[in-house]
A and B are shown apart, each in its own frame.
Chain A
Amino acid sequence: MMGNQRAAFGEVLIEIGHENPDVVVINTDIATSTCANGFAAVFPERSFNVGVAEQNAVTAAAGLSTVGLIPIVSTYAVFATMRACEQVRTSVCYPNLNVKIVASHGGLQVGADGPTHQGIEDMSLMRSLPNMTVIHPSDDVSVKKAVRSMVAMKGPVYLRVCRNDLPTLWDEKDEFVLGKGRVWRESPDDQVTIIAVGFMLSRALQAARELERDGIPARVVEIHTLKPLDEELILACARDTKGIVTAEDHNIIGGLGSAVAEVLAEAGLGTRLVRVGIRDVFAESGPFEELMDKYGLGVADIIAAVKKLV
């Protein structure tokens, strides 16, 4: 079954709007694209479109939060984290304000719009800001859970969602805990752990199924919260298996692979690590699945990475 993270965000936003009168939404002209337009239709008095002006959107959200409201800024990953980066840093993270940023169009998963709209640096940038929580769910169902968790916690949050449809993996009944990874498959014989974030989880699971046929049992772990990171789970995997492969639809610098490398290096366990991610290049336009395959984010790339470790 397939689902869409943007649509899920739009749906849960309306549910939360009914439950919590403090939630307000700042749009930046692209509400029809981020799917925050549904909230605007139901709650026009709590939805504000500031036009194509992301710096003002983020900083206005900071102001709104100081009067006790819970502002959610809705835009694309590129603009939220780069056009308005310093506003996020100085007016949101430094004073630790209760501002939520939900950014669509993360990664090459964007596809045909090309590199201008493919946010491949966003998680790295947001992870480096003190006080910031960084979340990137893997499907539509977990987006809804993540948005609920985001609104329930105090403090700045960056939540990345994907543009295109992707497989639904989570069940409504599953528990989503911020800062806690989720083990998707494991056995006592696991040789390697694949740690994935976002859309790459479905590719990691497919890789694990193919590896199983080749006689290589692999554990698959989802890290949906890049910060704070579930270090305990990562270290447990490092102890249980021969090596770790990370998989992310993000530049190879500063994202999940880097975060895992930091934990492993400081633990001094000598764990071998192979990172699957965009190899520090700008990509191009194209159908997203083929595009991701071309830029090293394919199932075959994950399998090859695992085989380097066994």
Chain B
Amino acid sequence: MLKTELEQMAKLIRRDILEMVHEAGTGHPGGSLSAVELVTALYFAEMNVDPKNPTWADRDRFILSKGHACPVSYAALARKGFFPLEELKTLRKLNSILQGHPDMKKTPGVDMTSGSLGQGLSVGFGMALGAKVTGKAFRVYVLLGDGELQEGSIWESAMAAAKYKLNNLVAIVDCNGLQVDGRCSDVMELEPLADKWRAFNWAVRQIDGHDFDQILAALAWARKQGGPVVILAQTVKGKGVSFMEDAVQWHGLAPNKEELEKALAEIG
């Protein structure tokens, strides 16, 4: 997909996120909007997946470790054709295939259940190791939140992935700088973050997480490394909606009708 097409897709996915969270009346728009370009690039330019065969054994895997941002995944999966767009209206409702946090047994295209922070990288480590054991060529992409890196289990898996030199594992950190209680730097300092990953023997690349050229270049670079890589993507929480941008209160708040219309008008 061309860059202009990716940008158009990102716009549609942003609209989907806002509409589905508004319809649900509950959900997490901020961290979904910050990850739009990252998830769009993965599903529409990077990963080898087949919407007609969601459990295809050779597919690339995506784990949304920051599971609360599932509106962005659900929108991407629907736009990719894993399920009808109308399903997005059922988010968080009874009998929906779209749970409040990702459920691999309910949603076609969801490769791993998530929502409890700090576990996705371990799952990705296991999947990437599994690819090596079974001689498969698929790649594993794990999207992490920056606040999530405060979980100790992240660093257990970081050690292990480096030990086994898993060059089929890509971690992407959505560095939007905010978590529920405020700025990550105030709640629990993460810096120097790149140095932390380097110290765990990971290859590190820092990019603008809203710039498709930089995202695609980083993903191409990742394929050439001899071990696990982490892409630290600088992002803006609530990106694309002026009143949601870098505003901690939009972590887990649904827009009302008026706010939705204002937001959609801004996105265009």
The interface residues of chain B lying within 8 Å CB-to-CB of A60 are 122-123, 125-126, 129, 157, 160
The interface residues of chain A lying within 8 Å CB-to-CB of B112 are 62-63, 66, 91, 95
Closest-CB distance, A252 to chain B (whole angstroms): 30
The interface residues of chain B lying within 8 Å CB-to-CB of A69 are 130, 133-134
Q: Are B119 and A87 in contact (CB under 8 A)?
A: yes
| B153 at the A interface (CB under 8 A) | yes
Q: Are A63 and B126 in contact (CB under 8 A)?
A: yes
Q: Are A55 and B134 in contact (CB under 8 A)?
A: no
Q: Are B157 and A45 in contact (CB under 8 A)?
A: no
The interface bits of chain B over 144-167 (1 if a CB of A lies within 8 angstroms of the residue's CB, else 0) are: 000000001100110110011000
The interface residues of chain A lying within 8 Å CB-to-CB of B116 are 86, 90-91
Given A53-B156, A56-B153, A86-B116, CB of A67 within 8 Å of CB of B125: no
Docked CA distance A91–B111 (Å): 12
Docked CA distance A69–B133 (Å): 9
Q: Say whether chain A's binding surface is mostly helix, strand, loop, or mixed.
A: helix
Q: Are A62 and B123 in contact (CB under 8 A)?
A: yes
Q: Are B122 and A59 in contact (CB under 8 A)?
A: yes
| A4 at the B interface (CB under 8 A) | no
Given A59-B123, A69-B133, CB of A53 within 8 Å of CB of B160: yes
Within 8 A of B (CB), among A77-123: 86-87, 90-91, 94-96
Q: Are A67 and B156 in contact (CB under 8 A)?
A: no
Closest-CB distance, B157 to chain A (whole angstroms): 5
Q: Say whether chain B's binding surface is mostly helix, strand, loop, or mixed.
A: helix
Given A59-B153, A59-B157, A94-B113, CB of A71 within 8 Å of CB of B119: no
Q: Are B103 and A95 in contact (CB under 8 A)?
A: yes
| A287 at the B interface (CB under 8 A) | no
Within 8 A of A (CB), among B152-203: 152-153, 156-157, 159-160, 163-164
Given A69-B133, A90-B119, A95-B105, CB of A62 within 8 Å of CB of B126: yes
| B6 at the A interface (CB under 8 A) | no
| A159 at the B interface (CB under 8 A) | no
Q: Are A56 and B157 in contact (CB under 8 A)?
A: yes
Given A50-B160, A59-B153, A87-B153, CB of A95 within 8 Å of CB of B113: yes
Docked CA distance A55–B130 (Å): 18
| B252 at the A interface (CB under 8 A) | no
Given A55-B156, A60-B160, A90-B115, CB of A48 within 8 Å of CB of B134: no
| B127 at the A interface (CB under 8 A) | yes
Docked CA distance A284–B245 (Å): 56
Q: Are A63 and B129 in contact (CB under 8 A)?
A: yes
Given A48-B164, A55-B122, CB of A64 within 8 Å of CB of B113: no
- The size of the chain A interface, using a CB distance under 8 A, is 29
| A24 at the B interface (CB under 8 A) | yes
Q: Are B125 and A63 in contact (CB under 8 A)?
A: yes
Docked CA distance A56–B104 (Å): 20
| B52 at the A interface (CB under 8 A) | no
Most chain B beta-carbon contacts within 10 A, residue among A66, A67, A96 = A67
The interface residues of chain B lying within 8 Å CB-to-CB of A95 are 103-105, 112-113
Given A61-B126, A71-B126, CB of A56 within 8 Å of CB of B160: yes
Closest-CB distance, A87 to chain B (whole angstroms): 6
Within 8 A of A (CB), among B87-125: 103-105, 111-113, 115-116, 118-119, 122-125
Docked CA distance A96–B112 (Å): 11
The interface residues of chain A lying within 8 Å CB-to-CB of B104 are 66, 95
The interface bits of chain A over 20-56 (1 if a CB of B lies within 8 angstroms of the residue's CB, else 0) are: 0000100000000000000000000110101101011
Across the interface, A59 reaches (CB within 8 A) one of B61, B119, B128, B131, namely: B119
Given A91-B113, A95-B105, A95-B112, CB of A63 within 8 Å of CB of B123: yes
| A270 at the B interface (CB under 8 A) | no
| A68 at the B interface (CB under 8 A) | yes
Q: Are A91 and B123 in contact (CB under 8 A)?
A: yes
Extra A-B contacts (7), CB below 8 Å, given A55-B153, A66-B123, A69-B130: A50-B156, A56-B122, A66-B104, A66-B112, A68-B130, A90-B116, A91-B116
Query: Which B residues are within 8 Å of any A CB, using their own CB?
Result: 57, 61, 103-105, 111-113, 115-116, 118-119, 122-131, 133-134, 136, 152-153, 156-157, 159-160, 163-164
Can you sample 14 A-B contacts with CB below 8 Å? Answer: A53-B159, A59-B153, A59-B157, A60-B126, A60-B157, A62-B122, A63-B125, A63-B128, A66-B127, A67-B133, A68-B134, A71-B126, A91-B112, A96-B105
Query: Which A residues are within 8 Å of any B CB, using their own CB?
Result: 24, 45-46, 48, 50-51, 53, 55-56, 58-69, 71, 86-87, 90-91, 94-96
